[in-house]
Chains A and B, each alone.
Chain A
Amino acid sequence: MSAKKIWITDTTLRDGDHAMSHKYEVDQVRRIAQALDEAGVPVIEVSHGDGLGGSSMQYGFSIEEEEKYLRAAAEVIKRGRMAFLLLPGIGTRHDLERAAKIGAKVARVATHCTEADISEQHIKMAKDLGLDVHSFLMMSHMTSPEALAGQAKLMESYGADCIYVVDSAGAQLVDEARQRVRALRHALEPKTEVGFHAHNNLGLAVGNSLVAIEEGATRIDGSACGLGAGAGNTQTEALVAVLDRMGIETGIDLFKIMDVAEEVVYPIMRQRHVPRIDRGSLTIGYAGVYSTFLLFAQRAAEKFGVETRDILVELGKRKMVGGQEDMIIDVAVELANQAKSKPRRAEARA
């Protein structure tokens, strides 16, 4: 393992927003951002779970305006830098510009793993505004390492400073993560960093993050208490402890980040949802489905009288990508209709 220093981006206030069903209060965002900053987290991501402009009927409305969250966090982040997520097709350059004005220093521009070319204008604008750009190739288990590297090269050509292999479904086995990070590290210029973003649906989040580091990744995402979609993300405090034992510098104070998780984040998340590897999130990792679909599928299952797992497995078969939350309803309606037309089968399941 060559790396001596790893930069962690904490996404408690972005990926965690999914698990919070977008119900963060502004004051909670301020307290978490401040605590993360004081613990030494170098990059703190703040956005709706689906990025800027994500507050919607499709994904769920935040309880406050986006700008208020960003301002609250920007005011208290002193040592580190504030990041935001932007998915072209959901958020726009207009949103990006506004976030930069409020004080964000890092733009995380995300596309599905085969659609990098829709991010060209956004990446270029972020660079023009003087931001660092960390690009996201989401659902990266759905394409080959070689094809993924090709998409990463595109993002690099637009100006991205770092390209993340994003395991949005928490579906990658150890070797699958390794091959993808290796392919990117091999294909990209030495000055372009490689990052890894995990979900713990198969219990592999910390392990895969370490493998990514072995293969040359220098940026890893985590969230306090693992607060994130599906079974959550790589747990920031666990990763910091492991890296500390391995002699890798993160700049984060281990005991402080433990306290942030325990005393600041946990009491807030406990009121909403505590992500864990349950049968829903495990099915997501197993079937390769967008982690964010978990709570939507649970709600749809209840509303239409079908099983969460059946919905998730069907979504996986249909190769749905991130952002297609409307298809969860579509699938639930179809399953409910099928059950009606096959009453015996429905009874057997009940």
Chain B
Amino acid sequence: MASEKVKVAIIGSGNIGTDLMFKLRRSTVLELTWMVGVVPDSDGLRRARELGYKTTHKGIEDLKDHLEDFEMAFDATTAHAHYKHAELLKQWGKIAIDLTPAAIGPYVVPVVNLDQYLDHQNVNLVTCGGQATVPMVYAVSRVTPVKYAEIVSTVASRSAGPGTRQNIDEFTETTARGLSEVGGAAQGKAIIILNPADPPIIMRNTVYVSLDKDADREAIKGSIEEMVTEVQRYVPGYHLKSPPIFDEDRVMIMLEVEGAGDYLPKFSGNLDIMTSAAVRVAEGFASHLKTRKGRPERREESRA
């Protein structure tokens, strides 16, 4: 049975990679084979070894003699490292699911546009804020034209790692692009706030979407609720804090994202929604691979 699953590797044994490992254990279509790190005594590699996965602390190059062991790789390292990893994965004909801000491939938010990119070799997960809020913007823009969407992501200080902290503009700029390119708003803006309260706050997202005065509020409300249900299929802790609040020229949508608490604490909904979305994307690729016979050649990137 296990041999029918699609084999995957995780590059990066930090918090995200380790949480991914725990999520993949539950997948009925994906089989984790390798956990790749660079720090020999990292907690992630230690746990991977304990759980019986193959591990290396020598980076992605070590996989070159084990190409039969994986069809796809999750990259949970850094943008800088992903540029190099992306080259190798492309040479090897492996699908790259990029959780870094590198964004070599197109932005993918599973409930919105995954189907469009199943023939691509490299896709990017935008940002945690993007995964949380783009579905809401899309839920509105599929009902009525959206000129402007703005989101505010508030995360607990403890769940914002050094990567986010040192590149905070990358978060706001990438998320804003996601709101327009994937969410369908003509213009997007993103704000991130870190809150150090202890006990830590659960990830909060507020989505503002501009509306014409005569927009169909009932249809918008219905579309939002439907989308929340869809996201909940892979992020059970994703929910509306209150019904959407309509004002004269806008709707305000308040979301809370509680993590599954696999490896990361529950308040880290921001990290959980990334790993959950990544698994969802990989599962999408896996079923797509299965419906096509044999081992398809990966197509060249054609970025939109």
Chain A interfacial positions (CB closer than 8 Å to B): 56-58, 88-90, 92-94, 112, 114-115, 117-118, 120-121, 318-321, 323-324, 326-327, 329-330, 333
Contact = CB atoms under 8 A, between A and B. Distances in A.
B121 interface: no
Contacts of A319: 195, 197
Contact of B206 (A90, A92, A318, A326): A326
B200 to A, nearest CB: 11
14 contacts: A57-B148, A58-B191, A58-B206, A88-B168, A89-B171, A90-B191, A94-B173, A118-B194, A324-B193, A326-B152, A326-B154, A326-B204, A326-B252, A330-B242
Nearest to B254: A330
B191 A329 contact: no
A167 to B, nearest CB: 18
B152 A58 contact: yes
Contacts of A318: 197
A115 B242 contact: no
A58 B171 CA distance: 17
Contacts of B152: 58, 323-324, 326
A329 B197 contact: no
A240 to B, nearest CB: 35
Contact of B208 (A58, A90, A112): A58
Contact of B169 (A56, A88, A117, A321): A88
Q: Which 6 A-B pairs rank lowest in CB-CB distance, beginning with the nearest?
A: A326-B206, A57-B208, A319-B197, A92-B169, A89-B192, A114-B196
Contacts of B193: 89, 321, 323-324
A124 to B, nearest CB: 11
A56 B197 contact: no
Interface of B: 148, 150, 152, 154, 157, 162, 165-169, 171-173, 189, 191-197, 204, 206, 208, 210, 241-242, 245, 250, 252, 254
A94 B206 contact: no
B192 A56 contact: no
A112 B245 contact: no
Contact of B195 (A93, A324, A330, A333): A324
Contacts of B173: 92, 94
Contacts of A93: 169
B172 A92 contact: yes
A92 to B, nearest CB: 4
Among B193, B196, B204, the most chain A Cβ lie within 10 Å of the Cβ of: B193
A324 B154 contact: yes
Contacts of A56: 150, 189, 191
Contact of B242 (A58, A90, A321, A333): A333
B166 A121 contact: yes
Contacts of B206: 58, 326
Contact of B167 (A121, A329, A330): A121
A333 B244 CA distance: 11
Nearest to B195: A321
Contacts of A121: 166-169
Contacts of A120: 166
Nearest to B247: A303
Nearest to B245: A329
Contacts of A90: 172, 191
Contacts of A321: 193-196
B17 to A, nearest CB: 23
Contact of B172 (A89, A327, A329): A89
Among B167, B173, B196, B208, the most chain A Cβ lie within 10 Å of the Cβ of: B196
Contact of A112 (B148, B150, B196): B196
A318 B202 CA distance: 12
A112 B194 contact: yes
A333 B252 CA distance: 12
Given A319-B197, A323-B193, A114 B157 contact: yes
Contacts of B195: 112, 319-321, 324
Contact of A329 (B148, B166, B252): B252
A58 B157 CA distance: 20
B267 to A, nearest CB: 14
A285 B252 CA distance: 29
A323 B191 contact: yes
Among A114, A118, A330, the most chain B Cβ lie within 10 Å of the Cβ of: A118
B79 to A, nearest CB: 14
Contact of B165 (A117, A329, A330): A117
A12 B46 CA distance: 56
Contacts of A330: 241-242, 254
Nearest to B164: A118
Given A112-B196, A321-B196, A117 B254 contact: no
Contacts of A57: 148, 150, 208, 210, 250, 252
A319 B172 CA distance: 24
A115 B208 contact: no
A117 B166 contact: yes
B197 to A, nearest CB: 4
A143 B196 CA distance: 10
B153 to A, nearest CB: 9
A48 to B, nearest CB: 12
Contacts of A58: 150, 152, 191, 206, 208
B65 to A, nearest CB: 39
A118 B169 CA distance: 9
A112 B168 CA distance: 14
A320 B241 CA distance: 17
A321 B166 CA distance: 20
